[in-house]
Amino acid sequence: MRQIVLDTETTGLEVSLGHRIVEIGCVELINRRVTGKHWHYYLNPEREIDGGAFEVHGISNDFVANKPRFAELAEEFLAYIDGAQLIIHNAPFDVGFIDQELARLDPPAGGVETRCDILDTLVLARQKHPGQKNNLDALCKRYEIDNGHRSLHGALLDARILADVYLAMTGGQTSLGLDAGQGETASDRTTEAVPIEPGAPLPVWRLDEAALAADREYAAFLAEQHDDPAWK
């Protein structure tokens, strides 16, 4: 089964006011395992980013000024998600923005739900934990998923976290996966870790080039937002 965990960042909260997408992040799962085939872009929204939105995600007008427009990437994006089940937290928000972008194309493209089944993890969380907070931070705390590096919202970062939350909510915490096969990462595993014999060498998991490129771009973006980032 192919699933895409998806998140967006936008210029503002109201799609009805013409707000647009500034970032899309997608993480691919096949048979409940992260494949490493992410899809991630910052976008030029062709309008100003609201101050309130900037406070949430830290993406500035200057940063996205030279980024591609959605129309330039629409065909690639649709090919990536086509036929998959989309996993989204508060799906009406993200789907509404994506559908607006698809409607702006020439010719307009059909909405997301004509191409994909959609699973809303906010609805799922409310069913499992009625009367409790069910935002992403609350779910990370509930399922003991580390999100300490999430000082600002980011589409790819939040999609990665949501993938862990979804796997935990639906039948298995992600683990270190020390018995994983070649090419798998720690986040690929949903089974219990196997103890390592004393003195045995620890496995080293290598990121693929797509993940490294996404991390480099996000680090460059954060460096632009802070005068003296700690990692320098």
Per-residue pLDDT of the chain (232 residues; tens, 9 = 90+): 999 999 999 999 999 999 999 999 999 999 999 999 999 999 999 999 999 999 999 999 999 999 999 999 999 999 999 999 999 999 999 999 999 999 999 999 999 999 999 999 999 999 999 999 999 999 999 999 987 766 668 899 999 999 999 999 998 544 333 333 333 333 333 333 444 555 555 555 566 666 666 667 666 666 665 556 555 5
The one-letter code for the residue type at 12 is G
Single-letter amino acid, residue 111: G
Q: In angstroms, what is the C-alpha Rg of the chain?
A: 18
Q: Phi and psi (nearest 5°) for 103?
A: -70, -25
- CB-CB neighbours of 128 under 10 Å: 14
pTM value is 0.74
38: annotated active-site residue: no
- For residue 29, the domain's CATH number is 3.30.420.10
**Which position among 19, 40, 153, 226 bears the catalytic label?**
153
Is 74 within a domain? yes
> What whole-number distance in Å separates Cα of residue 153 and Cα of residue 168?
21
Distance CA 122, CA 17 (A): 24
Q: DSSP readout, 46-77?
A: SSPPPHHHHHHH---HHHHTTSPPHHHHHHHH
Sign of CA dihedral 149, 192, 89, 26: positive
Residue 182: count of CB within 10 angstroms of its CB: 5
What is the tally of structural domains in the chain?
1
Q: What residue numbers bound the domain in which 72 lies?
A: 2-173
7 in a structural domain: yes
Give domain status of residue 10, yes or no: yes
123 occurs within a structural domain: yes
